């Protein structure tokens, strides 16, 4: 789970979960209930699907980019796609 490191960073700010419980989740000794898991996802501003996606490096940043792209015109979207394609050439 790529977000477990984020839990350690934010554990002191998650008031609904005790510190020891967060540590036991991160170490694999315990699993959160569904409601606790959804709370953690909500707190980290990540969807449950994205939480488990190992290919997703920064889902919050990706969501911001997608949200901004929705406002672009079609010609600007095509230009952006060509820039992304160029950046992805290795």
The mean of the pLDDT values for the chain is 79
Q: What is the pTM of this model?
A: 0.51
Instruction: Extract the tokens encoding 6.
Output: 């984020």
What percent of the chain clears pLDDT 90, i.e. is strictly above it? 22
pLDDT tens digits, 28-54: 888 888 988 888 888 877 888 888 888
Within 10 angstroms of residue 65's Cβ, the number of other Cβ atoms is 12
CB proximity list for 77: less than 8 A, separation 6 or greater: 69
pLDDT at 64: 87
pLDDT at 2 over 80: no
pLDDT at 26: 78
């Amino acid at each position: 789970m790529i977000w477990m490191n984020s839990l350690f960073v934010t554990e002191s700010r998650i008031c609904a979960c005790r510190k020891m419980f967060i540590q036991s989740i991160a170490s694999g000794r315990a699993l959160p209930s569904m409601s606790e898991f959804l709370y953690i996802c909500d707190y980290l501003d990540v969807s449950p699907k994205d939480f488990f996606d190992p290919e997703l490096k920064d889902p919050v940043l990706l969501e911001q980019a997608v949200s901004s792209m929705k406002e672009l015109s079609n010609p600007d979207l095509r230009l952006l796609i060509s820039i992304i394609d160029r950046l992805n050439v290795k």
